[in-house]
Structure 1
């Protein structure tokens, strides 16, 4: 009734069934391994040792400021609910505890509790050593002695509110690029310097132009002279000379900014060095 392909399939199925029954019979009749009970007393002693260390660590008291005792911390230290309530009411009135005597007076703890816990009290240094503390003077109230920013060190720059190590370094780098500032407005172009910080800079520093400094005439300056302008490069100088020749001189700055690749955003700074007269 079955063709040859079906007969092969039935034969394979029968073989798989025989194998399955054989595996099952072996698994059922296989003898079980005997349970061996080993001595675990060594491991138990290690576990007990770890529990003891954890218990000691949990009960260890670290130095703390008694002004900030929470309910849980107070419970762990052995304070009663009434003593904690007195402490919280005292702190809510915006008052501070500055000694162990103050703590006992406020909370009413016993001498025995105070003697055992007070050695862990840790008060701020301005309480324990008031002579070491320097009176803080706000920046706005500090006396300002202005100096030339071209001779200011990095530490003197960092003393200005708003100027950190990175910003002071960029100011010095810009100063070196310009061979010295000739106007305080050039400092504002330093990356990261905000308007509010610039106000502080103007309070602390001024700029003294180099002796004998004079503006250069753009319409008559040579190529080498124009290359001394810190905001110019070879390409821009060549283009300026080319446009100057074509226009028979620049009549106004509107014509100058039309020059190819002219940094119009720096026109105000460029005008510190150049004149059209």
Structure 2
């Protein structure tokens, strides 16, 4: 051992302490390098049953295929018998509603609502039923045997409406000898100011200012129903106000040139969120110009209802 130490010390030029450390470290290195390999060779078990395993797997595959043909296919592809027909929701029974593609729970809710004394007066009343989605309403709306909106309750109202539709918007008139406004009047919601809106019952300074501000951001109202998009306008309040509102058929809302507009200009529109603006700008940089509203359907953040709602406010040039 002393001779070996002397050889190591002379060969490497180690000190006495370094030589002692090398003599301890060298065997440890040998153990770490070679012992694991020896251990694997001694304990390794050779597996030679591949053929039997293959036969067993083939039999399992054949059994699975047989079960799929006899049972699984029928469960995966159920038979359906949906057929769209005209229906009156106040009179239709549960079976008739389910035949239209309405699920059983939603059909039960509609029946319970009618049996409790409720009634659907216009088509959009169906959307008040919990679980009646906008997409389902869009499919069934042409087949609902109800009016789109309520008719005016008085001949006087109808005459006033027709007169307003065929003429330029007129300021409010007061009865002779009285300071009060006429009992009924109609408003062009694109022409009325905040003071005009406050003459309607249920509309105060807060709501009137919100309507005017929303109209400015929107670029004008395309349809009366958009009043419901104003923050705070409930469905019950809208039902009261709807008969007083009108949009001139010749009115054209302000449009955003979607292919030229900046991020800030697009994001300022109340119908377009920040995430949707980012996706529009990214799509323009990747794919080029938007040529029609159908191009918006390529964006994941827009559904068909949003596209229809937004189309009057976009210019695709």
TM over 0.5: no
Q: TM (normalized to structure 1)? A: 0.35
Q: TM (normalized to structure 2)? A: 0.32
